[in-house]
Amino acid sequence: MVTPFRQFVLKVHSRCDLACNHCYVYEHADQSWRSRPKVISAHTVGRVAARIAEHVRRHDVDKIDVVLHGGEPLLAGHERLDEIARVLRGALDGACQVDLHIQTNGILLDERHCDLFAEHGIQVGVSLDGDKAANDRHRLYASGRSSYDQVLRAVELLRKRPEIYAGLLCTIDVANEPITVYEALRELQPPRIDFLLPYATWDNPPERPSPTAYADWLIAVFERWNADGRPMSVRLFESIIRTTRGDASLSEAVGLEPSTMIVIDTDGSYELVDSLKVAYDGAPATGHDVFQHALDEVATHPGVLARQGGLENLSATCRECPIVTSCGGGLYTHRFRAGSFDNPSVYCADLVKLISHIRDETEMPAHKIPYAGLDSLATGSGSAADMERLADAQLSLRRALIAALRPRAADEVWELFTRLDRHHREALEAVLAHPYVRVWAVERLQGEGEATYLANVAAAAMIRAGQDVTLRVAAGHGAVHLPTVGTLHGVDGDTVTLVAQAGEIGTDGTAKHEWRPVRTVSCGDFSLVLEDADPHRDCHQWPAADRLDASALSAWRHSFEAAWFLIEKEYPQYAQGLRGGLTTLTPLAPAPTGRDVSSTARHAFGAVAAALPADPATLALLLIHEFQHVKLGAVLDLFDLFDKSDTRLYHAPWREDPRPLEGLLQGTYAHIGVTDFWRTRRNVVRGAAQVKAEEEFARWCGHTLAATGTLAGSQALTPLGERFVARMRETVAAWQAGEEAPWS
């Protein structure tokens, strides 16, 4: 399976008008530039464009970056650059989004270039190492003359053309004072700064006055950038912040993402990453070119694959490194030593210090919902994005609960969590998202003793990830439950050694077990766990049903399928929220009177519990109603909407007994969903059903408006709570007047 290329560095001119002594093209081992055409020909550009178009179409790539590079690309001249952009845009038009860039030393940049780049949507990056003293250390003409004034002139031109000003590229020299460099660059108001570690290998290590001179230099800049409020993007720092939080890197300099970059030289030959020129003569060569080879062929070149293997392709030292998911072994070139890349980076000590510092100094992202999102949630349904924000916050909460239990977990279990988080995060998060994992964790934290069930959570995640596992897990009532996976029946004792191997699940004993996988209900592409086995599910205000027999299971499946069809068709505004947050449907024991029973539990985010109602429309109503409680619970986990010390009881129009303020708020919010259900239902059904729908709508409009009045008059709402309740009230008032809610 080929990993498609997404970044193309196209050499349009192979010579340069400067003679910077840190340049990897001319000043290092590889001297292949000597044999290349100076300027890329129109014919070669045509072949390049055709190869890229063929590649992106074959792999359905949605967006690519093409960087016009050199040497110095402006030496190609206005006409040739214009022609190159036209050919690329022409060939790739309609194939995918193409972001064009040019990386220049700026010496030749003029207004005509700027017009041309604006016309073709080409973003311009300029290489500049800081103030004049810093820049003059390396970036000189062959005569030794400074290039600084010329480069500054180019940057001033770009500052007047912000639509094409991409930023500055600064190669670090630790002899330069870091803050002076940073401030000189910041003054030029670049949208982005790229700090580049000097190209070096273990065979040609960088100039280094102290063991971590580069980390110390970058940390000084990071501190100032952070204190300044991060006035521009700094790709290296942002990549480190992102990778320490598990997100993708923005740069090849750090992170474990596969490289998707290929270089194409002026003669049409494909080359590996350009910086390899510092390793040895011929290091970047692939032996392939645009005339004879498709990009798919070069995509399987060992040199390309070596930069795509993630953790497996790193040295043993890196694989064991605690910050490897953030560092990723650093830039590939920096690992070279005596013919091999199987080493940590020559900047390893710097990377350890820099990444650890940024990780420790950067706050974890706060979960936020914009006011517009909260307003939209107050209308009843909320948007898919709001639901995603709430679900993300719930995941963080569960992670915090699990982390709080770490002192009560066996070391081997915690190591498994660490491994899962690093390599199988999706599987781990799917198990952590199970509503009753939080219920268990909260119960456990309120009591004492071991947190043995953590092993069940870890084992479930391992099985979901398709991994074998042998682990001592918690058992009870003759069974081992693995959340979201299933239950193993026929075991003895409080703990057993679970053995999951090649899809078979058992124990290390010889007894016969019965494995009962978790069952689901579904409609189309949406499915939920039908939870009738989790030992922690009995937390609702009504007893949970026992395991369903075949006929009860079939009834639930049919009813859910029809109910979900109805929700998708008639209540799409609720369907999007349910899709984003509802994971589990928990059958409750039927009420002896046959009345409808449904419930949620404060800590079971994602679960709705109900006894099977008489018809699918009622199930749809129960799902919408109860999920309102789930959503509001998640909002209350993030925000204070009322004074928690208020102990008064309030009248709710739909029940006899008075309620605490939170109960009244919960009930009102849930009944806004009910009101909305009947509002739509009036237009769906006919005859007596329609009369009933009208009555129910009028009844619930009255109840919810009265309840929002009680809430607003309680004097116990926070300013945010007042806003939330006011939106609820305006919503129902609008419905009552036959209008749409103003915040929906």
Q: Which is nearer to ligand SF4, 253 or 474 (CB)?
A: 253
State which of positions 334-353 bind ligand SF4 (CB under 6 A).
344-345, 348, 351-352
Tokens in use for 668? 């009102």
Minimal distance, residue 350 CB to ligand SF4, in Å: 9
| Residue 19 DSSP one-character state | -
Residue 314 CB, shortest distance to ligand SF4, in Å, is 7
Considering the complex, state which of residue 190 and residue 344 has its C-beta at the smaller distance from ligand SF4: 344
**Pair 484, 529: CB distance under 8 Å:** yes
- Closest to ligand SF4 by CB, 345 vs 704, is 345
**In the complex, minimum distance from the CB of residue 269 to ligand SF4, in angstroms, rounded to a whole number:** 30
What's the closest the beta carbon of residue 201 comes to ligand SF4, in angstroms? 13
Q: Nearest distance from residue 22's CB to ligand SF4, in Å?
A: 21
Query: Between 193 and 324, whose beta carbon lies closer to ligand SF4?
Result: 324
Short-list 369, 355, 457, CA closest to 406: 457
From the list 399, 198, 214, 424, the residue with the least C-alpha distance to 311 is 424
Nearer to ligand SF4, 352 or 621 (CB): 352
Each residue 289-328 as x (binds ligand SF4 by CB under 6 A) or -, in order, gives ----------------------------xx--x-xx--x-
Nearest distance, CB of residue 326 and ligand SF4, angstroms: 8
* Nearest distance from C-beta of residue 360 to ligand SF4, angstroms: 15
How many Å apart are CA 92 and CA 56, to the nearest integer? 9
Closer to ligand SF4 by Cβ: residue 63 or 319: 319
What number of residues does the chain have? 744
417-421 — which CB contacts under 8 Å span 24+ positions?
Answer: 417/454, 417/458, 420/458, 420/461, 420/462, 420/465
- Within 65-212, residue ranges assigned H as helices are 78-92, 111-120, 132-136, 148-159, 178-186
Q: Which residues of 19-57 are buried (b: 16+ CB within 10 A; e: fewer)?
A: bbebbbbbebbbebbeebeebbeeebbbbbbebbbebbe
Q: Which of 330, 506, 606, 616 binds ligand SF4 (CB under 6 A)?
A: 330
Taking the least distance from each CB to ligand SF4, the nearer of 215 and 661 is: 215
DSSP string, 289-347: ETTT--HHHHHTSHHHHTTT-GGGGS-HHHHT-TTHHHHTTS-GGGG-BTTB--S--TT
**φ/ψ (deg, to 5) at 114:** -60, -40
Shortest separation between residue 221's beta carbon and ligand SF4, angstroms: 19
| Helix or strand run (H / E) with residue 703 | helix 688-712
CA–CA gap between residue 130 and residue 181 (Å, rounded): 4
| Residue 191 contacts residue 232 (beta carbons within 8 Å) | yes
CB nearer ligand SF4, residue 321 or residue 566: 321
Give min distance, CB of 637 to ligand SF4, in A.
Answer: 36
Cis bond before residue 71 (omega within 30° of 0): yes
694 burial via Cβ count (<10 Å: 0-12, 13-18, 19+): middle
The smaller minimum CB distance to ligand SF4, of residues 214 and 650, is found at: 214
3-state secondary structure of 141: coil
Q: Measured from the CB atom, is 255 or 587 closer to ligand SF4?
A: 255
Interatomic CA distance for residues 344 and 320, integer angstroms: 11
Give long-range contacts, CB 8 A cutoff, 24+ apart: 244-251: 244/326, 244/355, 244/358, 244/359, 244/362, 245/364, 245/365, 246/325, 246/425, 249/328, 251/194
Nearer to ligand SF4, 106 or 329 (CB): 329
State which residue, 210 or 292, has the beta carbon closest to ligand SF4.
210
DSSP-derived 3-state class of residue 144 = coil
Task: Please state the closest distance from residue 422 (CB atom) to ligand SF4, in A.
Answer: 13
User: Shortest Cβ distance from residue 207 to ligand SF4 (Å)?
Assistant: 19
Task: Tell the residue number behind the tokens 């007596």, with chain if given.
Answer: 688
To the nearest whole angstrom, how small is the minimum distance from the Cβ of residue 415 to ligand SF4? 19
Q: Choose between 315 and 394: whose C-beta lies nearer to ligand SF4.
A: 315
Nearest-CA neighbor of 316 among 305, 324, 306?
Answer: 324
| AA letter at 617 | A
Q: For residues 349-378, which are near ligand SF4 according to CB under 6 A?
A: 351-352
What tokens were used for 60?
Answer: 């359905």
- Distance between CA atoms of residues 197 and 521, nearest Å: 54
CB of 318 to ligand SF4, least distance (A): 3
Of 130, 167, 198, 329, the one binding ligand SF4 by CB under 6 A: 329
Locate 159 and state its tokens.
């500052």
- Shortest Cβ 256–ligand SF4 spacing (Å): 9
Q: Which is nearer to ligand SF4, 347 or 414 (CB)?
A: 347
> For residue 352, what are the β-bridge partners?
none
- Count of residues of this chain found to bind ligand SF4 when the rule CB under 6 A is applied: 13
501 sits near ligand SF4 (criterion: CB under 6 A): no
- List residues near ligand SF4 by CB under 6 A: 317-318, 321, 323-324, 327, 329-330, 344-345, 348, 351-352
